[in-house]
């Protein structure tokens, strides 16, 4: 098997590195294996936009609800010269797994696996890298609350039940 092949089962995995988390205002970087370098975000809305656009660009996981528009809605998330997913579901990674895993945020790092995009939101699991704890989420809002909860002393939502 080629080194740059990534199974569709892990295509929705992103690494979120938070460099600043002050009073519910976040900034940091997002890494995906299909794009060299990082994508910067300045707030929660920017983070959500990057995650949604990366799923749209990869077409994984597929949306159960599609937005309708009379305008050109082709994904402009990636530049045309960058590698796109291969044919017949094959996904070709630009970044090696080892490089992907060495990125950490100054405040916190999360590995997010979006498994489904149903009911106009996301479902999946998030791993808090520094604590090696994984929790499932049922919506984008729940994902944001889990991340925001890491700033509190009591991280009840991260206690495995």
Distances (CA, A) of 124 to 33, 81, 116, 117, 158: 18, 30, 7, 9, 15
pLDDT of residue 83: 46
Residue 15, token pair as written in the block = 């690494």
Q: CB of 124 within 8 A of CB of 113?
A: yes
Domain edges within the chain: 5-64+80-154
CA distance 33 to 100: 7
Give, for all 161 residues of the chain, the pLDDT tens digit: 455 665 666 667 999 999 998 777 889 999 998 888 899 999 999 999 999 998 888 888 888 877 666 666 555 555 443 444 454 455 567 777 788 888 999 999 999 999 999 998 999 999 999 999 999 999 999 999 999 888 765 456 666 54
Q: CB of 18 within 8 A of CB of 112?
A: no
Q: CB of 97 within 8 A of CB of 16?
A: no
pLDDT of residue 151: 74
pLDDT of residue 64: 81
pLDDT of residue 88: 47
pLDDT of residue 1: 46
């Amino acid at each position: 098997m080629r080194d740059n092949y990534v199974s569709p089962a892990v295509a929705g995995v992103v690494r979120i590195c938070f460099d600043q988390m002050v009073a519910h205002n976040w900034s940091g970087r997002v890494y995906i294996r299909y794009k060299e370098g990082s994508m910067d975000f300045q707030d929660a809305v920017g983070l959500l936009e990057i995650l949604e656009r990366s799923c749209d660009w990869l077409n994984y996981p597929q949306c159960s609800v599609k937005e309708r528009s009379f305008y050109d809605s082709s994904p402009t998330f990636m530049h045309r010269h960058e590698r796109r997913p291969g044919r017949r579901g094959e996904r070709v990674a630009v970044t090696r797994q080892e490089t992907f895993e060495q990125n950490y945020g100054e405040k916190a790092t999360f590995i997010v696996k979006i498994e489904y995009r149903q009911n106009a939101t996301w479902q999946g699991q998030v791993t808090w890298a520094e604590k090696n704890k994984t929790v499932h989420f049922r919506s984008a809002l729940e994902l944001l609350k889990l991340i925001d909860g890491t700033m509190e002393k009591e991280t009840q939502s991260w206690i495995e039940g």
